[in-house]
Structure 1
């Protein structure tokens, strides 16, 4: 089993051998699962990795969709201090007028409609327009946080 960086010519050399399996993850951190899979099955593998992560397109998609942003993960509810976050966004806007507040939240267990209405009214006062994404799939959270 060979793991490491390689030029396209080197990769082609390894693919020409029938006893080699070639896996192409995008980043060294992503090479682990294919290596473990190869070991578990007694296979040989040449892992060709690049310096660019496969996750970069996902991060770029969030940046294109949202622009610069400050992210909060969690529901709009009293225990999360959502009203205080609106005040913090107002302060942040003075330094970074281009940064948007973004909230990734799932469903709340309790009825916070009244609190949510107060939150929306407080945001409207200073003209803050938060983007509420709602529930974000767990697999998409890392790229949203990292973008």
Structure 2
């Protein structure tokens, strides 16, 4: 994974796209809890009734979004990952899920994008936590150019969508939606999620394996994985930028009738890193840097 390789970053694309959508679609409303509230100041001047900052009240932020959705609006809610998913989880469950109303949640910070802020701003379990609730679509773009098409589709819809933005990115954008076959091989399949792709491609150089790319993980593209496995040995390595094994049950469901082997790589479930450092340092600790990925993947396919 690399950091901000282009002149665009995902959060900037997000703010620009939502600000434009506020001008175009009277259903769109934005709810923040101080984080990035300033980025929406110009939009707030144009639409003071549909750009709401609740202050440092994350549970209220989701409750307000649920109320807006009940009136027919399409709320967009934005904050750091732990303040968007973990702290107000009960409100996600009740004010959105139990009420069966939709919203677009867009997080920043990822698993540990900004380790300078410490553990309070880290949430590698976000997608796994949302996975306990039904009806969520989850997007994990790997490049700023993937953000707008995913976000535009989410804004036009009515469901519950989680858009996991990151400061980490691949060198180039790929089509969004179904899984994309990036490299064809016969030994097995490596499924790279979002910004993990470049590291996976480096780690698998010279290996006879297929590499699949996913920017959308819920719903899971069962047909895409089955098609890739059909032309290869039924061995799968799942590489995710969040909690290791988050989508392991989806892989197992896809291949329920096919004897297979699975290795899940991601942020460790067995340890909490209590140091600050850089995001690259954290990658190395969790074996998610290209060198660590190469060791794990090559050992699996040995």
Give the TM-score normalised by the residue count of structure 1.
0.34
User: Hey, which of these two has a bigger chunk of helix by percent?
Assistant: 1
Larger radius of gyration: 1
Which gives a bigger RCO, structure 1 or 2 (Cα 8 Å, sep 6+)? 1
